[in-house]
Amino acid sequence: MEDKVLIEKAFEARERSYSPYSKFKVGAALLGKNGEIYLGCNIENAAYSPTNCAERTAFFKAVSDGQMDFEAIAIVGGPAETQKGEGDFCAPCGVCRQVMAEFCDPKTFRIILGKSETDYKVFLLEELLPLSFTKEDLK
């Protein structure tokens, strides 16, 4: 799967962002090792704290569908008026990084931050969440 295809899918997911409070729209496209792409958007709530990030929406959809092995995630986001190619890269929050650490290999899982299909950066999970606490620590 090409990075640009995943980024395109993340933009598609961003269209469905429910973010009336922050007006910050995020989309994510998570690639499973089964070849499926799971889309997610941020979903806000009047009580604020029930808000779910786009990345976690994608992960929870995948896991609840029985997929627990992943290759990469593309993330795009910014203020509602931000168009493709504008604004900043949208990095995943700490909680989403921790969810990634639960299911993904830190040395191979790729996190693609896109402004557009041609303007993007790629990180490994171990770069964005060094010294993580995982199920290995509970053994």
Q: Which is nearer to ligand THU, 1 or 93 (CB)?
A: 93
- Among 44, 55, 71, 126, the one annotated catalytic: 55
CB of 130 to ligand THU, least distance (A): 18
Q: Which is nearer to ligand THU, 55 or 117 (CB)?
A: 55
Q: Is 84 exposed, middle or buried (0-12, 13-18, 19+ CB in 10 A)?
A: middle
Strands 24-32, 70-79: pairing kind: antiparallel
CA torsion angle for 131, 100, 88, 3 (degrees, to 10)? 120
Q: Is 15 a catalytic residue?
A: no
Q: What does each C-alpha distance from 124 to 55, 71, 104, 110, 127 come to in angstroms?
A: 15, 10, 10, 5, 5
Name the residues that contact ligand THU, by CB under 6 A.
19, 22, 24, 26, 42, 44, 51, 53-55, 75, 77, 90, 92-93, 96
CB of 69 to ligand THU, least distance (A): 22
CB of 77 to ligand THU, least distance (A): 6
State the catalytic residues: 55
